[in-house]
Chains A and B, each alone.
Chain A
Amino acid sequence: MARRIALQNCSSRELDRPPGDNPALRRFALLTAAATLVLVCVGGLVTSHEAGLSVPDWPNSYGYNMFRFPVSKWTGGILYEHTHRLVGSLVGLLTTILALWLFGRKARPVLRWGAIVLLLAGTVCSLKYGSRLEDNLELAATGVAALVAGFFWPNCEPSPKWLRTLGVIAFAAVVAQGVLGGLRVTQLNAQLGIFHATLAQLFFVLVSAIALFQTQFWRSLPARAVVDQKALRLLLVTAAVLILGQLVLGATMRHQHAGLAIPDFPAAYGKIWPDTDAASILKYNQHRIDGESYEPITAFQIVLQMVHRMIALAIFVMVGICAWLARRQLGRQDLLSRLAFGWFLLIVTQILLGAATVWTGKMAAIATAHMACGALSLVAGALISLLSFRLLAAPDAQNCPAQKSELTSLRPSSGLTT
């Protein structure tokens, strides 16, 4: 009884059922995160097959409306690029619904107004610009669907404001991501491809975090530590940020369109550090027989891959230390210790996949698995870091003395050592 009263004084809504809690929404957020992982994988297949520009136009596909591009023409690189566009559209739709759902019943007027805008756009396009009838019908049908959805939209409580803001950011990010992908194709700009790949990783982290925040698991997490585990938290976050940097480096390597800059591993052209003088580069290129239309390799690309290898080693060490430290400070059975160990295993898998990418001459399936595992490593790092802020940060004693005393009394059963 005393405990209940104490918690009510502080944050009872947080610990019971906060507004917007909804099992269906929870599953939907998880579905959006899973679809994003699929999208990241298909994106990996696109770059692994060097197929990013196999459909030269956007948003159309070889002049067809993207959604009516005949399946018979999905051959070669088009299969990967067009599938990527379609899965991207699906993720865009899921993210839009997710962002709206987070607003609960407040989304109803947004849907109705959005529907009116779409219907008007369809009418104006058909009357003024004489665009294709099917396209206008599609636009109008989307408007009708939004209008109907506006009337039948779940009448649930809106999620907390910070979560709704995350939903809006996710929506903006998915729109930006689609436009970036399109511009990369139409502007023939490889740098945009690097931004597109980086934003993809960040977006995956964001929707995964939203999915995590929807779970009862997250909501029921107590802030167990009385003494702040600052060092461990800092290490977890640093490792996650380092993985993000590594993924940006990987995206840069992929978007050089040069294939494997170094064909061997763990050595590099038979050495610890390969020669990168002009004569050596010429020799590497002379002996490099690619079946694909890769660009000739340059010294920059070789250095880039060497840095990628070194950062991989740094991440391996850092995540290893995280797992070891978590186990030492929190105990073997602690949730964070187990998660950190799982993260470490993911990093080991990622390094093996990286090696396999080199050993198989950048086989598309392996290279894609390497990229997907990298994305999962980042998400794992980001979510574990978020958890660490809930589990390893000492509660604010001034704001929540009752909870602190309550938590202190719970400490022995938590398995934490402080």
Chain B
Amino acid sequence: MKRCVLILAAVALAGSFQAAWAADLTGKVTLKGTPPAEKTIDFSDNPQCANMHPTVTTTRWYVVGKDNGLKDVFVYISKGCEGKTFPIPAEPAVLDQEKCAYQPYVLGVMVGQTLNVKNSDPILHNVHAIPKVPGNEEFNIPQANQGQVNSKIFTKPEIMVKFKCDVHQWMFAYVGVVDNPFFAVTDADGNFKIPNVPPGEYTLTAYHVKAHGATPGISQTIKVEGSNPVVANFTVEVPQ
């Protein structure tokens, strides 16, 4: 009995140490070079969508913010977590269809985590996911009703799974699927934050859909020691 109590205490202590000895990983992704001009989306064939967009709407390939910060870069730990298991987030990730556009444009989920795809529009969409990695199933589901939600789970890591609406050709989004909970998507100024990374040496990868395409993205090795915050910056280049 005494031994059991001791073991439990040790486990609890280890858990609290892990929480205490986990660091926040922050950084910024900047774009070097001049990206090609975005295209204006033509809603003329779809009056309902046009009404939702009274101003000019463009594609979202290279969204550059303050100090050349690049939005929608998927940043994740690509190496260093092998052999470890992590709890799957109970909170589902949400990919919404709002005003005839996917929100967000880039999203991350963990393998096994529920992804809710929602239709917030008063018009119908189809949700067509096109994974390439065997084990992740391609699907194409109709969402005819406003508020309709369909839940899906990906079983294999994949950077990135493309989602598209075949009814509205300009509607597409990308979902990064990883086997650990340490990922983030850069905000409008290119900043990201991955909280509670346990100590260790990792490879941190930044992947931008347009700039990196079929390549794995750009990586750097980081070392997390104790609870000391780690800063890792990336530069994405557009060749001229």
Contacts and interface: CB of A to CB of B under 8 A. Distances in A.
Nearest to B144: A62
A286 B239 contact: yes
B202 interface: no
A62 B238 CA distance: 42
A50 B128 contact: no
Given A52-B166, A54-B126, A289 B61 contact: yes
Nearest to A188: B138
Interface string B12-39: 0000000000000000000000001111
Contacts of A145: none
Interface stretch (A150-158, A243-251, A291-299, A300-308): A291-299
B142 A76 contact: no
Nearest to B40: A291
Given A75-B167, A77-B166, A292-B169, A53 B126 contact: yes
A283 B164 contact: no
B46 A75 contact: yes
The 6 residue pairs across chains A and B that have the minimum distance between CB atoms: A293-B172, A54-B166, A76-B167, A293-B164, A56-B140, A291-B39
B142 A62 contact: yes
Interface string B145-180: 000000000000000001011111111100000000
A405 B128 CA distance: 68
Interface stretch (B2-10, B72-80, B188-196, B208-216): B208-216
Given A281-B214, A282-B213, A286-B238, 19 more contacts: A49-B169, A51-B166, A51-B167, A51-B169, A55-B126, A56-B141, A73-B144, A75-B46, A75-B48, A76-B169, A278-B215, A281-B213, A282-B214, A285-B213, A285-B214, A287-B238, A289-B39, A291-B169, A293-B164
A78 B168 CA distance: 9
Interface in B53-74: 59, 61
A55 B144 CA distance: 11
B123 interface: yes
Contacts of A138: none
A57 interface: yes
Select the residue from A51, A78, A293 with max chain B CB neighbours within 10 A. A293
Given A54-B167, A57-B142, A75-B48, A289 B239 contact: no
A287 B37 CA distance: 9
B169 A285 contact: no
Nearest to A189: B138
Contacts of B238: 286-287
Contacts of B45: 76
B142 A56 contact: yes
Contacts of B49: 76
Select the residue from B42, B124, B167, B239 with max chain A CB neighbours within 10 A. B167
A73 B142 CA distance: 13
Interface string B97-133: 0000000000000000000000000011010100000
B171 A286 contact: no
Interface in A72-115: 73, 75-78, 81
B41 interface: yes
B59 A290 contact: yes
A17 B128 CA distance: 56
Report the interface size class on chain A. 35 or more
Nearest to B41: A291
A289 B58 CA distance: 11
B239 to A, nearest CB: 5
A63 interface: yes
Given A75-B48, A76-B168, A188-B138, A56 B128 contact: yes
Nearest to B137: A188
B169 A77 contact: yes
A62 B142 CA distance: 6
A287 B171 CA distance: 20
A45 to B, nearest CB: 12
Contacts of B171: 293
A63 B141 CA distance: 11
A185 to B, nearest CB: 8
Interface string A28-66: 000000000000000000000111111111000011000
Interface string A260-278: 0000000000000000001
Nearest to A75: B46
A293 B39 CA distance: 13
A85 to B, nearest CB: 14
Nearest to A76: B167
A281 B215 CA distance: 10
A293 B126 CA distance: 14
A312 B138 CA distance: 35
B166 A291 contact: no
A115 to B, nearest CB: 34
Nearest to B47: A75
